[in-house]
A and B are shown apart, each in its own frame.
Chain A
């Protein structure tokens, strides 16, 4: 019995440690400068103030949030579209060079993004796309080898009989993919969408390098500049952080099943 109690104590402590920084963000975002120095970090400031959030939302912040939403939406749409087609071809169609190409894709999964950063910047500079939406999006718009790998694994699990039947009815690959396979792919597409939404929303280094103006500034870069500004205002910074975190937490709450499923799909078999 004592052992059982200890088990739950350890698990609960772990869960608390997981959530604690989030709790701090929420508490601090609703504190005034004065409350920040008079209350312990883990206690709420009473009465809570919405002035920090109001101040952040009154400035350019909403615009950066909107930029991030647009970037995330476009990258996710691109990933889903191009990844689905490529993964279907690799999983279900036969064509010359298929295996070589697929291994090439898998090999590129190992290439660290840190290594391609400088050449990507130079390519964009050569094309005159620095500080444009094109420069921000194009390198990551056409689907990732990782996503293709994930979706291919899923396509392979679907029964071949479905395709056979459609083919006998005279359907071509495009029809089979869109009408027969795609409806069955919803769980896998959901998983891929969430992974892409999170990684796009969180991306920092590439936007930092490729963008400089307000038109294309995303929330991660905006938050980073909050710190380098003179005199760090933690309560404002945490209000900004809260604005950046809330959409991801919402995504998580609604789609957590998919996130857990992504683990099983990631090819542990």
Chain B
């Protein structure tokens, strides 16, 4: 990296620039963004294009790619296993996201009162977020072990016989979703806490003077003002949840009888176990379309509601 100190080579701030100086500023700016722009184009945009193109081909890696038109999409329409995996993904999202959002909000509301040891609690709640997901999967795999695991051992103490969790098709998906709740609740709580602490006290006081009950103040004052935080938390969590992979890989490997085979896991299997890259690209396109549609729906949902600009 060379250091340029030529006078007038930079144009920034609010002043109108002379053309010559402007060109100098441009040059530096382009130099500064060049590596990251290369990264964005080569490793994000180009792959997006490749996925779309590849989804029109029949290609099993060792054979030559063959143009197949919309064959993969026709196959997708009749592919029960994929629709099943989409339903599993939706189930995972519905089991984990509402619970972790509500719990995070509840914890944040509790911590927003003048709690002694706020910093300590806040830190302890965030600890699960640090855990390596694949390691986490193994730990929870063991906690859910029907005989030796901590969960059923604890249940046995109070006289309850726990289910076979991960080997029972009706319990496996809720168990995997619970791990997501455990991992993300505390981290989400940080965002809600930051949001709550940004709400001016006067608004609460004014509502209280007008005779609003605590419940009314929560629903009519707090929640609407948390709208931007809620939007951020649900959008990022949903995008993440639709792509869950590591914990599924470590805990269930998609089983038992495909009950935890989420779409991302199926894409991985199709590409790197069956080497059916053309069809796997089609499945990737499906995943992207679903995430895009859900995000768009959220933007519209939250956009319609009033947001209060207090700054």
Interface status of A36 (Cβ within 8 A of chain B):
yes
In the complex formed, the residue of A with least CB distance to B48 is A111
Q: How many residues of A contact B (CB 8 A)?
A: 103
Most chain A C-beta atoms within 10 Å of own C-beta, residue among B2, B3, B132: B132
> A119–B127 Cα gap in the complex (Å)?
34
Return the CB mask of A139-172 against B: 1 if under 8 Å, else 0. Answer: 1111101001000000000001001100100111
What sequence of 0s and 1s flags, for each residue 78-107 of chain A, a beta carbon within 8 Å of any chain B beta carbon? Answer: 000011011011101111101001001100
| B2 / chain A contacts, CB cutoff of 8 Å | 174
| Residues of chain A contacted by B43 (CB below 8 angstroms) | 116, 120, 123, 138-140, 142
| Contact stretch, chosen from A47-55, A56-64, A258-266 | A258-266
Q: Are A256 and B48 in contact (CB under 8 A)?
A: no
Bound-state CA distance A123–B202 (Å) is 57
Cβ-based interface call for B90 (8 A): no
**Chain A residues near B47 (CB, 8 Å)?**
115-116, 118-120, 123
Q: Closest CB of chain A to B38's CB: distance in Å?
A: 6
Task: For the complex formed, measure the closest distance between the CB of A153 and the CB atoms of chain B, giving whole angstroms.
Answer: 13
Which of B29, B122, B287 has the most A CB atoms < 10 Å from its CB?
A: B29
A86 near B4 with CB under 8 A, answer no
Which A residues are CB-close (under 8 A) to B150? 20, 24, 41-42
Task: Decide if B138 touches A108 in the complex (CB within 8 Å).
Answer: no
A89 to chain B, nearest CB (A): 4
1/0 contact string of B160-203 vs chain A (CB within 8 Å): 00000000000000000000001000100011001100100000
Give min CB distance, B226 to chain A, whole Å: 10
- Chain A residue nearest in CB terms to B154: A42
Task: Across the interface, name the chain B residue whose C-beta is closest to A262.
Answer: B190
Stretch of B78-86, B93-101, B240-248 lying at the A interface: B240-248
Q: Tell whether A142 pairs with B135 under 8 Å between CB atoms, given A18-B186, A21-B140, A108-B44.
A: no
Q: Could you mark each residue 67-93 of chain B with 1 if its beta carbon is under 8 Å from any beta carbon of chain A, else 0?
A: 000000000000000000000000000
Point out the residues of chain A lying under 8 angstroms from B1, CB to CB. 174
Q: Report which of B22, B110, B272 forms a contact with A7, defined as CB distance below 8 A.
A: B110
Taking a contact as CB atoms closer than 8 A, the residue among B28, B135, B141 that contacts A174 in the complex is: B28
B196 CB to closest chain A CB (Å) equals 11
Q: Judge whether A134 is part of the interface by a CB distance below 8 angstroms.
A: no
Q: Which residues of A contact B131 (CB under 8 A)?
A: 21-22, 245, 248
For residue A234, which residues in chain B have a CB less than 8 angstroms away from its CB? 142, 148
> Across the two chains, which residue of chain B brings its CB closest to A167?
B10
B-side contacts of A145, CB under 8 Å: 40, 44
Contact B245 A114 (CB under 8 A): yes
Using a Cβ–Cβ cut-off of 8 Å, how many residues does chain B contribute to the interface with A?
102
- Asked if residues A112 and B182 are in contact (CB atoms below 8 Å), the reply is no
Q: Is B134 a contact of A18 with CB atoms below 8 Å? A: no
Q: Does B35 interact with chain A (Cβ within 8 Å)?
A: yes
Interface mask (A166-202 → B, CB under 8 Å = 1, otherwise 0) = 0100111111111000000000000000000010011
B295 within 8 A of A: yes
Any chain B CB within 8 A of the CB of A223? yes
**A66 near B: Cβ within 8 Å?**
no
* Minimum distance in angstroms from A129 CB to a CB of chain B: 12
Structural contact, A174 and B3, CB atoms closer than 8 A: yes
Q: How far is the CA of A121 from the CA of B154 in the complex (A)?
A: 44
Instruction: Report how far A135 CA is from B5 CA in the complex, Å.
Output: 37
* B254 contacts the other chain (CB 8 A): no
Kindly state whether residue A70 has any CB partner on chain B within 8 Å.
no
Q: Check B35–A82 contact: CB distance below 8 A.
A: yes
Q: Are B124 and A18 in contact (CB under 8 A)?
A: yes
Interface string of B26-53 (1 = CB under 8 A from A): 1011101101111110111111101100
State whether the Cβ of B153 lies closer than 8 Å to any Cβ in chain A: yes
CB distance from A41 to the nearest CB of B (A): 4
Known A115-B288, A167-B10, A204-B133; judge A172-B28 contact (CB<8 A).
yes
Tell whether, in the assembled complex, residue A11 and residue B51 are in contact, meaning their CB atoms are under 8 Å apart.
no
Cβ < 8 Å to A, chain B residues 140-163: 140-143, 148-150, 153-154
User: Is B281 in contact with A15, judged by CB distance below 8 angstroms?
Assistant: no
Distance in angstroms between the alpha carbons of A234 and B136 in the assembled complex: 13
Chain B 282-306: CB-based contact to A (< 8 A → 1; otherwise 0): 0011011001100100000000000
With A114-B284, A269-B311 in contact, is A86–B36 under 8 Å at CB?
Answer: yes
Given A41-B143, A101-B37, A112-B288, 19 new contacts (CB under 8 A): A19-B127, A40-B153, A41-B150, A90-B33, A101-B33, A108-B40, A110-B292, A122-B54, A139-B43, A164-B13, A173-B4, A173-B9, A174-B28, A209-B272, A223-B135, A224-B250, A241-B139, A263-B191, A263-B194
A-B contact pairs, 20 of them (CB 8 A): A7-B110, A15-B121, A86-B36, A89-B32, A93-B28, A105-B36, A117-B268, A120-B47, A122-B277, A163-B13, A174-B1, A174-B4, A205-B268, A223-B138, A227-B141, A249-B127, A252-B130, A256-B123, A268-B191, A268-B232
Residues of A participating in the B interface, judged by any CB pair closer than 8 Å: 7-8, 10-11, 14-15, 17-22, 24-25, 28, 36-37, 40-42, 82-83, 85-86, 88-90, 92-96, 98, 101, 104-105, 108, 110-123, 138-143, 145, 148, 160, 163-164, 167, 170-178, 198, 201-202, 204-205, 209, 219-220, 223-224, 226-227, 234, 237-238, 241, 244-245, 248-249, 251-252, 256, 259-260, 263-264, 266-269
* A-B pairs, 5 with minimum CB distance: A142-B39, A119-B47, A119-B50, A95-B29, A172-B4
